[in-house]
Amino acid sequence: MNWETIRVLLVHELRMLVRDRRTVILAVGVPILMIPIILFAAKWINERRARTLEETVYRYAVTGTEAEQLRSTLARAKESQARAETEKGKEEGLERFKFEEVKVQDPAASLRNKDIHFYLEALSGPQADALPKKREKEDEDEVAPQSDSTRKEILPVPTRLPGVPLILIYYQGDQDTSQAGEGKMRDLLLRERRNGRDAILLDHGFPVDPLKVISIADKSLASAGQVTGAWVGRFLTAFLVMFLLTGGSVVALDIVAGEKERGSLETLLTTAARHGEIVAAKQLTIVLVAILITVIHIANILAYVTFRIIKMPEDFVIKAPPGTVVTLFLLFIPMAAFISSILLMLSAYAKTYKEAQLYFFPVYLVNLTISFAAVLPGVSLRSAIVIVPLANVSVAVREILVGKFDWPMIGLTFVAMAAAAVWTVRASARMLSQERLITSSEADVADFAGGPALFPKHVLRWYALLGVILFSVALNVPQMATLRRQVLFNDLVLFLAGPLLMIWKYRLNPKEALAFRAVKPAVWLAALLIIPSGNLVGIGAFRLADLVIPVPRQMLEQFGQELTPPGMPMWQIILLLAVLPGICEEIAFRGTLLYGLRRKFRPAGLAVVVGLIFGLFHVAFFRIIPAGFMGVVLTAIALFTGSIFPGMLVHAGNNAFAFWAGRQGYPLAGLNWPLYLAALAIFGLSFHILYRNRTPYPDLRN
């Protein structure tokens, strides 16, 4: 590396950036203006809403047989307000709750016409008892509903007792003031009820103040600094990633893609500067600009906090001892390098500035989403997340700011992040050497003629569309809610008709596209052996991984779990969930998808990509990896044999095996280790048989 060359290049890039005034203003000036505007808007909205709700005099009507009783209660409540001492918690707002009764003929109509904010109907005990029973969505003491399977508690959920009068508060949920009024009135009545209860008890000789019965106090061991650290830690990494990405993109999108478009990249590549030096200089430029803009934003926000333009809660205390700062810094360096490499790679891949911008949005979204990992409750650094770039830093930062230093995991985080950064830097350097990205592409015959030559270019779009349809229909068409209908729709419409449509549109040879080829007899034996052994190997692999890095329970269970509704006859299970997917999904994934991608990737990569796409089509998170694993195995079989048929057998057989084992109650996820090892041996033998009897998939990339 010639550092002088890098210095010259770096100065050159920075000089050009600084002279692009418009970009500088947009990149720095506009966000500096926008952030306070956004914050001010949010603050104004909240304050205005709070003020409106507070200043509103809530008009209400009273009706029902117990109206007078209710009016007395409300009168007492007003008196309590007048002499109330402020209590902690939500009742503080009750002191400023202003309400006045309005006499109306038709309360319901008045409510609809917004003449009143809400109205109360007071029913006697017998009247309330006579009301039809229905699930009340907003019972006064209802807590967040818990799943029935976990709660078999002895203490009853509070409900209205027979004979107890009922007060119904009618409001319009689509009107903010009406809803707020209902809430305040409810709180007021609850408070009055509590006061009433206490008075009744004391009048009957209850020996103590009811408020002092079973008093609860709590104490947090975490210091204010730690609590603040936990809160800040959730978002800090995500904000930094956001600033680095937007800041870095200012220069990154143009630094290669724009140069390519203008033609000056080729000029640069003919100079004595090596590719590595050019990449290093450009990367350094992106990092410097990204960090500078991030620092400006942070300083901007800190200024607002310091001058109390943004008000922080009183107990907001940031503790940042030097050790913490240094550790954070060490983690953020590879993160910044990684992000700048991603931006450089994106710019190197795109042919024009516009194209680079197009790629930027999804890249931004994905990276930002991953960096919010710390928001997930209960995610620990000591888990699989430690090897996921950005997510690992996010979780590590949260733990560090809370004062938890899990040094081995922090070290692993640094290594994983640095490895990711190195990989992306090398990828972007390779991209600058990829000739098709540097030289302008000549017009492709396929673009003119269409037909089979165009299919490889369009195949992924088709599958993206299939995925979208699968997901949208499942979520939005209630008629598809049953398992049978979903399976039939997915298999017959998407996975069978879809590929047939592609074959027709692109004039593909069906035999080639679907790999309808005969195989040697021994292949069938191997396929039969893979059915049980593949299943167990998958489970065993994940159990092994679990020893080192904990894997969520559901993921392990999904390998062998029976997912069928109880009572479904076995023949239906086999037909719908084994045979049909075995045929249709193979046609879709090891048929047209594999055919379309066969030249895009080398065989190993192809198996992983097709397997991964297969996994993603299983939608539910905990099924993606097991399904993906099976997808890789099935693709490997297709690549070895050049045929779709063995995979169909394995796929159908694997599903049938899993369901059968589930029905029989065999705990496939809890077997002894020798059994998994035996399965591995059989699995290996099966692939050896495949290899020995291989008829490779034709026309693959070397």
Partner 1 sequence: MNEPVVVRNLAKTFYDEARGEVRAVQGIDFECRAGEIFGLLGANGAGKTTTLRMLSTILTPTSGSAEILGYDVVADPAAVRKSLGFYSASTALYPRLTARETIEFFARINQYPGEKVRERVDYLIERFGIAQYANARVDKLSTGMKQKVSIARTVAHDPPLLIFDEPTVGLDVLNALEMQEVIKEFRAHGKTIVFSTHIMSEAEKLCDRIAIIHDGKILACNTLENLRRVTGVHYLEDIFVNYVRGQG
Partner 2 sequence: MLYARELRSALRERNIVVNSILLPVFLYPILLWLIYTGISFVGGQTEGFSSRVVLKGLPAQHSILKADLERDKQIELKDSANPTADIRDGKIDLLAEFTPAQGLAASLPGNFHVQLTYDGSKDRSSIARGRLTEKIRRYSDVYLDAEAKKLGLSSAQLQQYWIEGRNMATSRQMGQFILGLMLPMFLIIMLSVGCMYPAIDSTAGEREKSTWETLMTVATSRRNIVIAKYLYVATMATAAAILNLSAMVFSMKAILAPLLGARGEGFTFQIPLRSIPLILLVTVLLALFIAAGMMILASFARTFKEGQGMVSPLYIATIVPVMFLQVPGLELTPTLALVPIVNVAMVFREAVAGIYRWPLIGITIAVELFCVALSLWLATVILRYEDFMLGTYGGSFGKFLKERLLARKAPLGGERK
Binding interface with partner 1 (CB under 8 A): 2, 5, 8-9, 12, 15-16, 19-20, 262-264, 266-274, 433, 435-436, 438-440, 442, 444-446, 453-454, 456-457, 599-600
Q: In the bound complex, what is the minimum distance in angstroms from residue 528's beta carbon to partner 1?
A: 36
CB of residue 452 vs partner 2: minimum separation in angstroms? 22
Min. distance of Cβ 266 from partner 1 in angstroms?
5
Residues 6+ positions from 263 with CB-CB distance below 8 Å: none
Q: Which is nearer to partner 1, 54 or 444 (CB)?
A: 444
Which entry of partner 1, partner 2, none binds 354, CB below 5 to 8 A by partner kind?
partner 2
Binding status of residue 275 toward partner 2 by CB under 8 A: no
Q: Is 18 in the site for partner 2 (CB under 8 A)?
A: no
Q: Which of 492, 512, 538, 510 is nearest to 632 (CA)?
A: 538
Entry field: residues in the chain = 702
Q: State which residue, 135 or 511, has the beta carbon closest to partner 2.
A: 135
- Cβ distance to partner 1 smaller for residue 97 or 506: 506
Compute CA distances 281 → 271, 285, 290, whole Å.
14, 6, 14
Burial profile 498-511: b = 16 or more Cβ within 10 angstroms, e = fewer: bbeebbeebebeee
Our finding on whether 309 is near partner 2 (CB under 8 A) is: no
Site membership for partner 2, residue 230 (CB under 8 A): yes
CB atoms within 10 A of CB 478: 6
Pick from partner 1, partner 2, none: which does 190 bind, CB < 5 to 8 A by kind? partner 2
Stretch that binds partner 2, among 211-219, 387-395, 662-670, 684-692 (CB under 8 A): 211-219
Residues 146-185: x where in contact with partner 2 by CB under 8 A, - otherwise, as a string: xx-xxxxxxxxxx-xxxxxxxxxxxxxxxxxx----x---
- Contact between 297 and 29 under an 8 Å Cβ cutoff? The reply is no
In the complex, what is the shortest distance from the CB of residue 30 to partner 1, in angstroms, rounded to a whole number?
21
Q: Select from partner 1, partner 2, none the partner in contact with residue 456, using the beta carbon and a kind-dependent cut-off of 5 to 8 Å.
A: partner 1
How far is residue 464's CA from residue 462's CA, in Å, rounded to a whole number? 5
Footprint of partner 2 on 453-472 (CB under 8 A): 464, 467-468, 471-472
Closest CB 147 distance from partner 2, rounded Å: 7
CA distance 67 to 108: 16
Give me the least distance between CB of 391 and partner 2, in Å please: 12
Written as one string, the DSSP assignment of 326-379 is HHHHHHHHHHHHHHHHHHHHHHHH-SSHHHHHHHHHHHHHHHHHHHGGGGSTT-
- Residues forming beta bridges with residue 119, ordered by sequence position: 61, 170
- When CB distances are held under 5 to 8 angstroms depending on the partner's kind, the choice from partner 2, partner 1, none that residue 207 binds is partner 2
Is residue 434 close enough to count as binding partner 2 by CB under 8 A? no
Shorter beta-carbon distance to partner 2: residue 227 or 500: 227
CB of 11 to partner 2, least distance (A): 22
Q: In angstroms, rounded to a whole number, what is the distance separating the alpha carbons of residues 60 and 171?
A: 10
Residue in the block written with tokens 């430690």? 386
Beta strand 166-171 with 118-123 is antiparallel
By a kind-dependent CB cut-off of 5 to 8 A, residue 694 interacts, out of partner 2, partner 1, none, with: none
Least Cα distance to 246 among 298, 293, 287, 285 occurs for 293
81 or 383: whose CB is closer to partner 2?
Answer: 383
Q: List the interface residues with partner 2, window 20-49 (CB under 8 A).
A: 22-23, 26, 30, 34, 37-38, 41, 44-45, 48-49
Placement of tokens 């017009």 in the chain: 443
**Which is closer to partner 2, CB of 256 or CB of 644?**
256
In the bound state with partner 1, the residue whose beta carbon lies nearer, of 5 and 686, is 5
Contact 662, 565 (CB under 8 A): no
Neighbours of 107 (CB within 10 A): 22
Binding flag, residue 493, partner 2 (CB under 8 A) = no
With CB under 5 to 8 Å by kind, the binding choice for 8 among partner 1, partner 2, none is partner 1
Question: Measured between alpha carbons, how far is residue 429 from residues 247, 341, 345, 346, 426 in Å?
Answer: 21, 9, 8, 12, 5
Selection from partner 2, partner 1, none that 12 binds (CB < 5 to 8 A by kind) is partner 1
Torsion of CA 442, 446, 448, 451, to 10 degrees: 180
Beta-strand pair 98-101/118-123: unpaired
Q: Taking the complex as a whole, how short is the minimal distance between the CB of residue 345 and partner 1, in angstroms?
A: 20
Nearer to partner 1, 22 or 134 (CB): 22
CB of 252 to partner 1, least distance (A): 17
**Least distance between partner 1 and beta carbon 179 (Å):** 57
Residue 62, strand partner residues: 120
Tokens of 176: 């903010």
CB of residue 337 to partner 1, shortest distance in Å: 24
Q: How many residues bind partner 2 (CB under 8 A)?
A: 117
| Both tokens assigned to 213 | 């019965």
Instruction: Say whether residue 138 binds partner 2 (CB under 8 A).
Output: yes
Note whether 140 binds partner 2 by CB under 8 A. Answer: yes
| Nearer CB in complex with partner 2: 496/551 | 551
In the complex, minimum distance from the CB of residue 32 to partner 1, in angstroms, rounded to a whole number: 24
- Which pair of structure tokens corresponds to residue 183? 């809430």
CB of residue 354 vs partner 1: minimum separation in angstroms?
17
How does DSSP classify residue 248?
A: H
Instruction: Give, for 62, the enclosing helix (H) or strand (E).
Output: strand 57-63
Q: Is the dihedral of CA 116, 118, 123, 128 positive or negative?
A: positive
DSSP alpha helix (H) spans, 350-454 = 353-371, 391-402, 407-433, 435-438, 445-449
Choose from partner 2, partner 1, none: what does 95 bind? Cβ within 5-8 Å by kind: none
**Do residues 257 and 311 make contact, with C-beta atoms less than 8 angstroms apart?**
no
Secondary structure E strands in 527-661 = none
Q: Which residue's CB is nearer to partner 1, number 70 or number 255?
A: 255
**Between 5 and 347, CB nearer to partner 2:** 347
Which residue, among 69, 99, 31, 81, has the nearest Cα to 166 in the 3D structure? 69
Instruction: Supply the minimum distance, in Å, between the C-beta of residue 485 and partner 2.
Output: 18
Q: Give, as ranges, the residues between 42 and 101 that touch partner 2 (CB under 8 A).
A: 44-45, 48-49, 52, 73
Q: Which does 557 bind (CB under 5 to 8 A by kind): partner 1, partner 2, none?
A: none
Residue 137 binding partner 2, by CB under 8 A: yes
